[in-house]
Chains A and B, each alone.
Chain A
Amino acid sequence: MNGPHDLGGAQGFGPIALEADEPRFHAPWERRAFALTVAMGASGAWNLDQARSARESLPPALYLSSGYYQIWFEALERLLAERVLTGPGQSPAPGLRVLQADAVGAVLARGGPTEREPGGPARFAVGDAVCTRLMNPSGHTRLPRYIRGRCGRIEALRGVHVYPDTHAAGQGEQACWLYTVRFEAAGLWGPDTTAASVHVDCWEPYLEPAPR
């Protein structure tokens, strides 16, 4: 969706607030909000793409005026209300995993790999000229606005990965080929850029061959 999270190329946010010897957390509640988000993320009640979708679906004014752990927390509250505490008296939905302390190390070490066995050959090869589709889906996508309808070249094939657009929508992994695409910065921004190139990871459904 064209939400407040899709920030590439936006202007007017001012200087970057740098902080010498920045602490990992800026308030006690940030620690707990972080840990609650990670722990509930391991419950199986939602997947990572659904969590991202919940964050970017926050009201734009709330999103842009919140620090990142608050964004996580606001989304966590909504995910719990929608998916977990749904029974009478907010009783939890059945079948959820509870992350126990003795499993934390193994769960973190395993992570959540998204690469899957290829179901077929890749459509594109390194060096191919491609363009991203011009699209404005109302649901979750990982194709930023600034790169839609733009043309570049395939820089690398990254294997077959879970497709976030369907995964967030509860329509399964539908894993597909993932590519890193190099876009020349002047082709994105005209003369108003100091980048030489911008490199974006694009799933195959985002791409089509460049017109000859």
Chain B
Amino acid sequence: MSGNHPHDRSLSEMDVRVRALETLLVDKGLVDPAALDLLIETYEHRVGPHNGARVVARAWRDPAYRDWLAQDATAAIASLGYTGRQGEHMVALFNAPGVHHLVVCTLCSCYPWPVLGLPPAWYKSPAYRSRAVIDPKGVLTEFGVTLPETTEVRVYDSTAELRYLVIPEQPAGTQGWDEDRLASIVSRDAMIGTGLLKEAA
């Protein structure tokens, strides 16, 4: 019978294995189920790319903040309240005319959690991790992004505990926008380097 049948309530093999392990660890007193719930709640609903979008918007509006971000991204980002796990050591990469940055972790799934949340599945996939360092323009095409022929792509492979955040160029015509409106056009993928900015709402 198909596992997708609507009346089929059986659990998948992974459901069974994970439940079994959780039960074992709770029984042994090694995990607090309420802590698990809170971890899930935090990363499913609270932390996400809206945080990184605030960083980008501030950098666009405030030259002093931009300079701080370039000098000490960890401190500049912490000043907005985004700190901690998988963002302990931050580096900002500034796109410029003719220069585009793309971030990957070829060895695993390193990603700046405090500013972007948990990585999307594609970021952790062999398809992305293998090709980003050799054919970034081909990768970008799959994301619907075509850069000018002369634009150079600099790929950052996150092999250490530094976590990279791409700061896209501020689009023409958005000078004078307030921070909320600027943040609303900053997409997750633009901060990884695989995407463009969103259309203004």
Contacts and interface: CB of A to CB of B under 8 A. Distances in A.
Contacts of B32: 39, 98-101
Contacts of A159: 89
Interface residues on B, range: 35 or more
Interface in B127-160: 127-139, 142-143, 152-160
Given A16-B122, A70-B14, A194-B138, A34 B40 contact: yes
B87 interface: yes
A9 B133 contact: yes
Interface string A89-119: 0111000101111011101111111110000
B181 interface: no
Interface stretch (B19-27, B53-61, B167-175): B19-27
Contacts of B121: 17, 19, 22, 26, 67-68
A2 B167 CA distance: 33
Contacts of A14: 127
A7 interface: yes
B162 A199 contact: no
B175 to A, nearest CB: 29
B54 to A, nearest CB: 17
Given A113-B88, A199-B155, A193 B135 contact: yes
Name which of A24, A70, A115 has the most chain B CB atoms within 10 A of its CB. A24
Contacts of B25: 36, 40, 80
Interface string B86-128: 1111010000000000001011110000000110111011111
A30 B139 CA distance: 27
Interface in A14-53: 14-19, 22, 24-29, 31-36, 38-40, 43, 52
Contacts of B135: 193-195
A203 B160 contact: yes
B127 A39 contact: no
B201 interface: no
A98 B27 CA distance: 13
A18 B159 contact: no
A10 B130 contact: yes
Interface string B11-41: 0101101110110110011111011111110
A27 to B, nearest CB: 7
Contacts of B143: 16, 18
Contacts of A96: 30
B29 to A, nearest CB: 7
B136 A8 contact: no
A98 to B, nearest CB: 6
A193 B134 contact: yes
A196 interface: yes
A198 B129 CA distance: 13
A24 B159 contact: no
A203 B28 CA distance: 39
Contacts of A133: none
A112 B44 contact: no
B85 interface: yes
B84 A108 contact: yes
B30 A56 contact: no
Nearest to A107: B85
Name which of B18, B31, B85 has the most chain A CB atoms within 10 A of its CB. B18
B43 interface: yes
Contacts of A58: none
17 contacts: A6-B106, A13-B127, A16-B127, A16-B128, A16-B131, A29-B17, A32-B18, A70-B14, A101-B35, A104-B38, A109-B85, A111-B86, A112-B161, A146-B106, A158-B160, A180-B162, A194-B138
